[in-house]
Amino acid sequence: MKQPKELKVKPIKNGTVIDHITANKSLNVLKILNLPNSESNLTIAMNVQSSNLDRKDILKIENRELAPNEVDQIALISPNSTINIIRDYEVVDKAKIGLLNEINGLLKCSNPNCITNTNEPVENKFYVINKEPVTLRCHYCERLMEEHEIESQF
Ligand code: CTP
Ligand code: ZN
């Protein structure tokens, strides 16, 4: 009997590959990236085998080179991902994605009385006080936000 051939995710010619995303988190990663009306070809691979026995997700964005500062916030939900820049099929740049010390304008404070949750025109702002597991502190009300409260926002 003929065995079906294994389907592999195609290499891309130019663009960005975000690799080693925590398994099943790629859709959340995509939300964080918030690529505005992207016309780029997107390939998402979920739950694929990594080089070791672990599973991971991969995101390939064709014809667009994301800058490290555009992807750093991904570390909030996927601490071990890498960003690879591809030109003419070659990886020309590879970097580990790392959390910045501040997260601005991305998350809602879990304290309902926080000034950022009122009608005041104040942008939310958190300090990263621990990276793994992630713990953030609100600049305004000092409320601590733990990983599950952060993940549930994406
Ligand atoms: N990749 C791609 N298209 C290319 C080249 C690479 O989509 N033309 C993808 C690979 O599939 C991989 C990632 O980009 O998911 C990084 O490629 P590479 O550095 O060649 O792979 P590894 O050595 O396995 O990377 P690492 O050491 O970071 O695990
Ligand atoms: Zn707050």
Q: In terms of Cα–Cα distance, which of 139, 149, 146 is closest to 114?
A: 139
Quote the CA–CA distance of 149 and 24 in Å, as a whole number. Answer: 18
Q: How far is CA 99 from the centre of its chain?
A: 10
Mutate to test the pocket of ligand 1, among 90, 91, 97 (most ligand atoms within 8 A of CB): 91
d(CA 34, CA 112) in angstroms, rounded, equals 25
C-beta separation of 136 from 128 below 8 A: yes
* Contact partners, residue 4, CB within 8 Å, separation at least 6: none
Q: Is residue 58 in contact with ligand 1, taking CB distance under 6 Å?
A: yes
Neighbour tally for 15: CB within 10 Å: 20
Residues 69 and 122 in one domain: no
Same domain, yes or no: 76 and 47: yes
Rg (CA), the chain: 18
pTM score: 0.88
Q: Is 52 in the pocket of ligand 1 (CB under 6 A)?
A: no
**Among 96, 121, 141, residue at a domain's last position:** 96
Domain shared by 92 and 109, yes or no: no
**92 and 22 within one domain:** yes
Q: Is residue 5 part of a domain?
A: no
Count the domains in the chain: 2
Residues 74 and 117 occupy one common structural domain:
no
What range does the domain containing 24 cover? 15-96
* Other C-beta atoms lying within 10 Å of the C-beta of residue 85: 18
Token pair, residue 97, equals 């994605």
Q: Can you give the pLDDT of all 154 residues of the chain as single tens digits?
A: 666 666 668 999 999 999 999 999 999 999 999 887 777 899 999 999 888 778 999 999 999 999 988 899 999 999 899 999 999 999 999 999 988 899 999 999 999 999 999 999 999 999 999 988 899 999 999 999 999 999 899 8
Q: What is the CATH number of the domain that holds 135?
A: 2.30.30.20
